[in-house]
Structure 1
Amino acid sequence: MAKGGSLEERWFLDNIKCKLGEGKQTKFWIHPWAGTTPLRFTFPRFFHLCENKDVNVSDLGRWENGRWIWELKWRRELFDWERGGGATNSLLSVISDVCPSAGTDDQWIWCGAKDGSFSTKTAYMAIKASRNAIALAVINEKELAMVWDTPAIHKARVNAWRIMRNRMPTYNNLGKRSVPLTTEEMTCNACFHSPESANHIFLSCPKSERVWDEVQRWMGITSARPRLIASHFVTFIHMGRGKRIEKLLKAIWMCTNWILWKRRNESRFEGRPWTINSVISEIKARIWSWNYEFCIVEKGLSFSSWSSNDLLLKLM
């Protein structure tokens, strides 16, 4: 059961996982048995070097004194840097956490529900989450490199990188990792309506949309907002002219998403609700501070002038 097809077609496959038994019906490289992603995607170089890409888990090891010993097979001898490198250790670490179980059959489990049982309600939630995941799929290395070039504190840059790679511990992502969650837990705690995904938290939640409205009013720019995170990043940073304005807009985009994530955590784990005004005030103060720390644009403006609307006009 390989994961294939378009993202919209994969809503079902992305929400099932293999519970490994003896490993006789589970493909080592193709099926998602060691985590939620097939090993061929996690370790593409080793997939290229493997002896048999269609091999079952049970054929790549043996039992010895009641203990499973992995015996991976390659088309050629691995080079020293391949055998002793971090990637090899990472592969072994991943598969060592999930060993075959003698005398039991492999099973497929529905991850959309706590008890592993499929229902129309959990299927609907999975379809909505899959559509949100599509909005995170369009990204390239150039855009990721731009994240690390942004004049911002390290925490905010790491946060942005994780957002663009869909690595945030949202409840949608935790559900895909088989963390037991209720429907209520998987719902956004800002709007209490949609499944909590990265795309929803940072773009499409009604409260997030209002935050971006206020950010654009502060900048003095008007533009339609793309529904894809990577596209939103590229569109937003090119709303002004010149390299220094682009640097400023990158920092603002990063700061806004970082603060939205902090507010989400405070609300969910500490029960502290947040307002649009409080988020906008913190964004303005943070960017003011970053401007002095990283010399993004000129420092001659007073904070009062800096924090009032149409900032880009004042910087031209």
Structure 2
Amino acid sequence: LYPRLFAISSHPHATINELGVWVNGVWRWHLEWRRSFFVWEEELYGQFMRVVESIILSHEEDVWEFAFDRGGGYTVKVSYLSLCDKLSPPSISSLRAVTCRVVDCVWDSWAPSKVLVFSWQVLLGRLPTRVNLGRRGVLPSSEQRCCHCDVGCLETEDHLFLLCPFAWNIWMEIYKWFGLVEVLPDTIGGLFPAFFKALKVPKKKHKGVVMLWQAVVWVIWKTRNDTIFAQKPRNVHEVVDKIKHMSWQWLLAKKSKSPCLFYEWCIDPLYCIIS
């Protein structure tokens, strides 16, 4: 900040302890210079001294202090909550009480770890969707449209995973798979608890329900990438079949003691989860 003063200091590499003395418990600076100040340097020196004299020194031993929890020290939980406060978009922050409960649930699942992280990003609006890439200056506004529909909607998380006709039909097929007919909410964050409520699974078996929800959003995202980068054709029934097969594989990996056959999974997934 003060390169000129540093250049004319007699001890530019000295420690603070070498640049002053304690007088009656008060630190007094004792700085030495190689020459007298020019007129304009005196004003610079005055600014410098006002800065350093505002710093209160003490004899106490230095300690590390975690800024977000000055009393209890560093913890992963406090770090996580602090990051949520900083990174959550306004739409998430305004619904903090509800959202925290929803986001916390994504970790209690039978899905693979990478899918858990992915679903967490979905609910927080942190995926590299075209709209998010546009906010970062990666894509122009003309290239932020959904790749699945022809109505020209922006590719947000809510649109891509729920409101797009392609995604909407997938969810309708998933609900039909469970023998349900439901009115879907208008946000992907709202669909998460609604999915639990519709299936009415015991709390001990919630991991399987979370896994199913995560399988749907995961396959929708993979299909979106295949459409954009590989120009692969999309088909609702093929996507639903892929969701069933992938979720069944995840189920087998976590429930090796009571596995179910794939045709059983396709006929009655709830029984396979609960049993």
TM-score, normalised via structure 1 length = 0.54
**Number of the residue aligned with 1:192:** 150
Residue ranges of structure 2 left out of the alignment (5+ in a row): 1-50, 68-73, 80-89
Shift of 1:232: 0.8
The equivalent position to 1:281 in structure 2, one of 238, 241, 247, is: 241
**Number of the residue aligned with 1:45:** none
**Number of the residue aligned with 2:264:** 305
Shift of 1:149: 1.1
SS where residue 106 of structure 2 aligns? helix
Spell out, residue by residue over 1:95-121, the C-alpha distance to the aligned partner (whole angstroms, 9 max, x if none): xxxxxxxxxxxxxxxxxxxxxxxxxxx
**Number of the residue aligned with 2:133:** 174
Distance 1:237 1:136, change over 3 A: farther
CA distance in 2, matches of 1:232, 1:297: 31
Of residues 275-284 and 245-254 in structure 1, the stretch that sits farther from structure 2 once superposed is: 245-254
**Number of the residue aligned with 1:220:** 179
CA distance in 2, matches of 1:79, 1:255: 47
CA distance in 2, matches of 1:217, 1:277: 12
CA distance in 1, matches of 2:92, 2:165: 17
The equivalent position to 1:142 in structure 2, one of 77, 96, 101, is: 101
CA distance in 2, matches of 1:230, 1:155: 19
2:180 aligned with 1:243: no
Spell out, residue by residue over 1:75-131, the C-alpha distance to the aligned partner (whole angstroms, 9 max, x if none): 999963348x9x9xxxxxxxxxxxxxxxxxxxxxxxxxxxxxxxxxxxxxxxxxxxx
The equivalent position to 2:251 in structure 1, one of 288, 291, 297, is: 291
SS where residue 222 of structure 1 aligns? coil
Shift of 1:140: 2.4
Shift of 1:219: 1.5
| Structure number with bigger Rg | 2
CA distance in 1, matches of 2:100, 2:92: 16
SS where residue 140 of structure 1 aligns? helix
Residue ranges of structure 1 left out of the alignment (5+ in a row): 1-70, 88-132
**Number of the residue aligned with 1:98:** none
CA distance in 1, matches of 2:247, 2:239: 12
SS where residue 154 of structure 2 aligns? coil
CA distance in 2, matches of 1:231, 1:76: 51
Distance 1:215 1:82, change over 3 A: same
**One-letter amino acid of the structure 1 residue matched with residue 110 of structure 2:** P
The equivalent position to 1:232 in structure 2, one of 186, 191, 204, is: 191
Distance 1:134 1:205, change over 3 A: farther
* Identity within the alignment, %: 26
**Number of the residue aligned with 1:165:** 124
User: Aligned pairs, how many?
Assistant: 195
Shift of 1:136: 9.5
SS where residue 168 of structure 1 aligns? coil
CA contact 2:92–2:99 (8 Å) conserved in 1: no
**Number of the residue aligned with 2:223:** 263
**One-letter amino acid of the structure 1 residue matched with residue 262 of structure 2:** F
CA contact 1:135–1:229 (8 Å) conserved in 2: no
1:91-106 equivalences under 5 Å are: none
